[in-house]
Amino acid sequence: MADMRNDKARKDAISKASGRETYVGDLSLDGMIYACLVRTSVPRGIIKSITLPPLPDGYYYFDDRNIPENGRNELWMIQKDWKCFAAGSSGYVGETIGILCGPDRTLLYSLRDQIKVEYEEQTPAVSIEDSLALVGGPIIGENNYHCTVELQAGDGDIDEIMKNAYRVVEEKFSTGHQEHMHLETNGMMVNYEDGKYVYYASCQCPFYIRKSVAGIIGATPEDIIVRQMSTGGAFGGKEHFPDVVAGPLILAEYYLKKPIKLIFNREEDTQFSVKRHPSVVKFKTALDRKGNILAMDSIVYYNAGRYLASSYIVIQRGCMHIEGVYKFPVARTRGYSMATNTFPSCAFRGFGAPQTIFAVETHMTHIAEKLGVDPVEYKRRYLIKQGDTTITNGKIVENVRTPELIEKVCKASDYFEKSRKYGFGSGKGIGFSLYNHGGAFTGNGESAIIKAVVKVCKRKDGTVLIKAGQTEMGQGFSSAVCRIAAKTLGIPYEKVIYKYPDTSVVPDSGPTAASRSTMVPGNLVMKACEELKARWDEADELECEAHYEHPEGYPWDQASFQGYAYLGYGWGACVVEVEVDPRTAETKIKGIWSAHDVGNCIDPLIVHGQVNGGIAQGIGWASTELLENKGGYFKQHSMSDYIIPTSMDLPAQEVYYANEPYKWGPYGAKGMGELVFNGSGAAYVDALSRAINRKIDSIPNPTEVIMGHILHSEKLTEDKR
Amino acid sequence: MTIEFSLNCEHVSIDVDPTKRLLDVLRDDFGLTGVKEGCSEGECGACCVLLNGQLVTSCIIPIAGVHGQDVRTIEWVRTTRLGETIIQSYADGGAVQCGFCIPGMVMASYYLLSNNPNPTKKEIRKGISGNMCRCTGYDLIVESIYLAAKRVGELHKARG
């Protein structure tokens, strides 16, 4: 185990706590003007006309009609389907029509409100059910599928197994939209400097922005520089979405060539930014006479919204986590990413895994309860272990320590005693979940798609500068990477410098996403530092670089989606205890216990903070974070009607580890940023279900929904145990 | 309209639209960007300042409302002994992640510890319940404030 205790605080802590840190909203350049986006107000329709009010001097409006001849009205994410400007049709409420620029923000918003847009409205498909029923006619293709995925593992014809089973348990689970609600809204500034378009951006992936928007003005990525600013929370919400902000800005800058700042207000950020995918997951599970699982068949639908964004990969991730931490004799899953007329869904911590993990965990719990077995005991029978085959027909490479994780949380929480004592419907409930998350890009993505490079530079003053595209957005990479370098080089932590990435300075080491930053680029930093250490005395100034190489012997075929999907998973177990007032449905969380295998903690305090925060977000998702979409319009607009947990809503958490060092990670570390979100929702719902003795198969569960369950839902069990 | 007030212990005077938000005046006119805008409706606490010693959200106060009053921001708090101790404790205790809510959180901590130097963890949770954080789940913030209280106590003891 690497010895990396926290004797020194994280690099950015004092600057942030004292209010000295510069976020893009704090940045001001000479001659700076402001911008706001003009957006569509109907979920589906043809734009008949756009009428602008007279614009005072110094105010400008641009849209697709201003795109130069060699430019294209498209943002390049994974595909190029997301239009930069709506250009004649609206596919969701809030699609960008144009951009308005000028010196006074108040006047800018007032001018925007005077713009008249006439539509020929069409019937929108808003939900997964609408999309499947082709409400209003197909949005894309013949069946509204953005993309599909099918995976199967185990021997035998699953349909035959279902036919011959003693019992088949069928269930359906659903989850809703979730808003990232990072405290800093989306925003960026663009400026034309020395012949380059320079962005100052709140973002996760500076290189994504370059690639995505260059084509709009017929430029190349090299014509663009992206400088990340301190980023006030992201959670996936600033992975691809900043492209949507940067696109219209580059067109305005093409004409204006002056600093333009665009900051979303909270209402805009809540309604008009990407969200977590709503989901519907259906299971058919075949059991034998003794209650053993013979096969599990599933269908997964995610509401992707109008454009693909990252949904192709999100649905894959969802399907690849459909077995949770278990191994079933035969498993099949079919996933469909559905087009709807809602704001496109995109990355959000967990990236498709939390939805299927919630579903499979709750399904397993329900089967156990049907059989009269404690869910923890039942789940223990199916734990996947080293060498077992996954749903992509690869194997689990590492030693899986879920039995220890279960021990730790159950002992700390006194799970079995409380489970027996509280029973069902007593107003007190204890819930349990298991979960995992595959670290880094799927399969050979790190070597075939990303090809990460990092550099480390020894400087004259004896400091070492890390050059990587990895952003700091609160997760702590800037400090973790310096610890890795300091340890490898044998120099003090203070001598290692990380700077917010500037694409003209750092190599592309891939996106800050997929729980990969410490695991993959962090490992490259360690390798580059090993070389730098060996060559330390060669010169006063020296630069070493490292390139990603995928370990041999773990094949992956991207075309068939078969092979080793992930070489290192994070693993977790969580117990949540609640009390519910049966008359008011008011719910109080009494305790949260978790145990994780994160490989190794590079910075234990940062890992602790990630665990606390991820679990809190997961509980928010499962409990109060209701974001309704009525007819294409989000009903909640702000932090007073979209309810995230406060300090009074959560008890102090107890956090444990059983870390299995990861062979290919820096000092054994592996991905953990998303893992810690994946399971608390299922544990919370389990606790709630038991407390009120009602079957709960959906997320979220604000008080009024819990009351609905108490009044109308099926009982979880008649057995009082 | 001319508005005069005490800002971080200095007398200031500004000719301004009386409906302009205190938050915007602090950030745009006085460059005090440690005061953050999170929700714009007094809900999240990122814009917290002290108004005559009371903790308030500057996004819902028109500048006219502070005429003749005393306003203090994170830029002042960080120069005080208590403020410094809180900030250092936040760093040592792992309270800071993205940092956007943190200046406001420090203001709430300052207010809490000024009025209750030995709070229980429950009182700390209550004290910061008007400040939202999306990163931390609050635990390490609570621990850090508790640490700050202890450190301040030791300072007092040392001084006798």
Give me the architecture of the A279-442+563-712 domain, per CATH. 2-Layer Sandwich (3.30)
Chain-chain contact of A605 with B140 (C-beta, under 8 angstroms): yes
Where do the structural domains in chain A lie, given as residue ranges?
33-122+186-263, 279-442+563-712, 445-547
Domain A445-547 matching CATH 3.40.50.620: the answer reads no
Over residues A182-190, the mean pLDDT reads 98
Q: Are residues B46 and B96 in the same domain?
A: no
Retrieve residue B103's tokens.
């200046």
| Residue A4: per-residue pLDDT | 47
Average pLDDT, chain A: 97
Chain-chain contact of A14 with B88 (C-beta, under 8 angstroms): yes
Give the pLDDT band (50/70/90) at residue B157: confident
Q: Quick check: do A33-122+186-263 and A445-547 share a fold? A: no
Chain-chain contact of B98 with A19 (C-beta, under 8 angstroms): no
| Residue A718: per-residue pLDDT | 78
Over residues A165-172, the mean pLDDT reads 98
pLDDT above 70 as % of chain A: 99
The gap from C-alpha A486 to its chain's centroid, in whole angstroms, comes to 30
Collect all residues of chain A within an 8 Å Cβ-Cβ radius of residue B47: none
Enclosing H/E stretch for A607? helix A604-622
Select the residue of B33, B100, B142 nearest A647 (Cβ to Cβ).
Answer: B142
- How far apart, in whole angstroms, are the C-alpha atoms of residue A218 and residue A214? 6
Nearest to A585 by CA among A626, A620, A623: A623
| Residue A6: per-residue pLDDT | 58
Select the residue of A19, A21, A183 nearest B78 (Cβ to Cβ).
Answer: A19
Over residues A468-489, the mean pLDDT reads 98
Q: Are residues B63 and B132 in the same domain?
A: no
pLDDT above 90 as % of chain B: 96
| Residue A2: per-residue pLDDT | 42
For the segment B29-49, what is each residue's pLDDT rounded down to a tens digit? 999 999 999 999 999 999 999
- Residue A626 has, within 13 A of its CA and on its CB side, a CA count of 14
For the segment A399-430, what is each residue's pLDDT rounded down to a tens digit? 999 999 999 999 999 999 999 999 999 999 99
Picking from B23, B55, B73, the residue at the C-terminal end of a domain is B73
| Residue A28: per-residue pLDDT | 96
Give the pLDDT band (50/70/90) at residue B159: confident
- The neighbouring-strand residues paired with A393 are A563
For A630, which DSSP code? E
Superfamily of domain A33-122+186-263: Aldehyde oxidase/xanthine dehydrogenase, a/b hammerhead (3.90.1170.50)
Is the CB of residue A233 less than 8 Å from the CB of residue B100? yes
Give the pLDDT band (50/70/90) at residue A719: low
CA distances from B150 to A13, A171, A221, A644, B119 (A): 20, 53, 53, 30, 10
Domain CATH number, residue B101: 1.10.150.120
Q: Are residues B85 and B152 in the same domain?
A: yes
Chain-chain contact of A183 with B44 (C-beta, under 8 angstroms): yes
| Residue A1: per-residue pLDDT | 37
pLDDT above 70 as % of chain B: 99
pLDDT above 90 as % of chain A: 98
Q: Are residues B67 and B103 in the same domain?
A: no
Over residues A615-625, the mean pLDDT reads 98
Give the pLDDT band (50/70/90) at residue A3: very low
| Residue B160: per-residue pLDDT | 62
Over residues A25-35, the mean pLDDT reads 97
For the segment B72-112, what is each residue's pLDDT rounded down to a tens digit? 999 999 999 999 999 999 999 999 999 999 999 999 999 99
Nearest to A10 by CA among B96, B79, B135: B96
Retrieve residue A479's tokens.
């400090």
| pLDDT value at A625 more than 50 | yes
What is the chain A residue with the closest CA to B135?
A613
The alpha carbon of residue B11 is apart from the nearest alpha carbon of chain A, in Å, by 22
For the segment A88-126, what is each residue's pLDDT rounded down to a tens digit? 999 999 999 999 999 999 999 999 999 999 999 999 999
Collect all residues of chain B within an 8 Å Cβ-Cβ radius of residue A265: 40
Decide if B134 touches A, using CB distance below 8 A: yes
Is the CB of residue A494 less than 8 Å from the CB of residue A461? no
Sign of the Cα torsion B62, B64, B65, B67 reads positive
| pLDDT value at A468 more than 70 | yes
Nearest to B11 by CA among B53, B63, B69: B69
- CB burial of B44-65 (b: ≥16 within 10 Å; e: otherwise) equals bbbbbbbbeeebbbbbbbebeb
- How far apart, in whole angstroms, are the C-alpha atoms of residue A536 and residue A531? 8
Collect all residues of chain B within an 8 Å Cβ-Cβ radius of residue A648: 125-126, 129
- How far apart, in whole angstroms, are the C-alpha atoms of residue A458 and residue A421? 62
Domain CATH number, residue B11: 3.10.20.30
Tell the burial category of B129 from Cβ atoms under 10 Å away from its Cβ (0-12, 13-18, 19+): middle
The residue type found at A602 is: I
Decide if B63 touches A, using CB distance below 8 A: no
**Domains identified in chain B, total number:** 2
What is the chain B residue with the closest CA to A638?
B39
Picking from B57, B73, B89, the residue at the C-terminal end of a domain is B73
What is the chain B residue with the closest CA to A179?
B134
Is the CB of residue A459 less than 8 Å from the CB of residue A541? yes
Q: Are residues B46 and B62 in the same domain?
A: yes
Which of A7, A615, A647 best probes binding to B when mutated, by most B CB atoms within 10 angstroms? A647
| Residue A520: per-residue pLDDT | 97
Q: Strand order of the sheet with strand B2-7?
A: B10-15, B2-7, B70-72, B48-51, B54-57
Select the residue of A9, A12, A15 nearest B92 (Cβ to Cβ).
Answer: A9
Q: Are residues B50 and B99 in the same domain?
A: no
For the segment A337-356, what is each residue's pLDDT rounded down to a tens digit? 999 999 999 999 999 999 99
Q: Are residues B57 and B44 in the same domain?
A: yes
pTM score: 0.98
The ipTM is 0.98
Question: At CA A356, angle to CA A133 and CA A665, rounded to 5?
Answer: 140
| Residue B155: per-residue pLDDT | 80
- How far apart, in whole angstroms, are the C-alpha atoms of residue A633 and residue A630? 5
| Residue B61: per-residue pLDDT | 98
For A588, which DSSP code? E
| Residue A717: per-residue pLDDT | 87
Higher pLDDT pick, A717 / A566 = A566
| Residue A178: per-residue pLDDT | 98
Which of A4, A8, A14, A18 best probes binding to B when mutated, by most B CB atoms within 10 angstroms? A18
Select the residue of B93, B106, B137 nearest A612 (Cβ to Cβ).
Answer: B137
Nearest to A86 by CA among A48, A123, A120, A47: A47
Domain of B83?
78-159
Picking from B13, B46, B73, the residue at the C-terminal end of a domain is B73
Decide if B69 touches A, using CB distance below 8 A: no
